[in-house]
Amino acid sequence: MERIQTIDYASPLGVLEISGTEDEVCSILFTDRDEPILLEQEDNCHEPLLVCRQQLDEYFSGKRQSFSVPLWMKGTDFQKSVWHTLTTIPYAHKITYTELAALIGKENAVRAVGNANGKNRLNHCAMP
């Protein structure tokens, strides 16, 4: 089992906690903390977490519209299809759960799409 590390990012919206392995980011979640917890030795931090934090910084400063950090999406095949489709939504565009259900070919699964979206540990931060 790969070791999960966590680092904080002080975003304009609040402190985000970025977690992941040596290869992928597995979650980006808001915290209740007002200040980030800084790692004493970032030299030992997994590279995807540092890249994610850098890309988030670029995003919030208006210099980035898409992300290239590798993501670990652990869920059912249905959830993964919803989450993958979320990554295809162009920058600054919004769609409804109904539209998202249609995009995955499951027009009648609007509630299931909403439920999958709610379980996405990466959706709390824009990751198109």
At 6-27, the pLDDT tens digits run 999 999 999 999 999 999 999 9
0.75 cut: is pTM over it? yes
CB 45 within 8 A of CB 53: no
Tell me what the mean pLDDT of segment 62-78 comes to: 90
Confidence at residue 125, expressed as pLDDT on a 0 to 100 scale:
41
The sign of the torsion formed by the CA atoms of 92, 95, 96, 101 equals negative
Confidence at residue 96, expressed as pLDDT on a 0 to 100 scale:
95
- Average pLDDT of the chain, as a whole number: 87
User: Which among 6, 8, 31 has a CA at the least distance from the CA of 20?
Assistant: 6
Looking at the predicted structure, is the pLDDT value of residue 124 above 70? Answer: no
Neighbours of 118 (CB within 10 A): 8
Question: What is the architecture of the domain spanning 77-118?
Answer: Orthogonal Bundle (1.10)
Domain with CATH 1.10.10.10 in the chain: 77-118
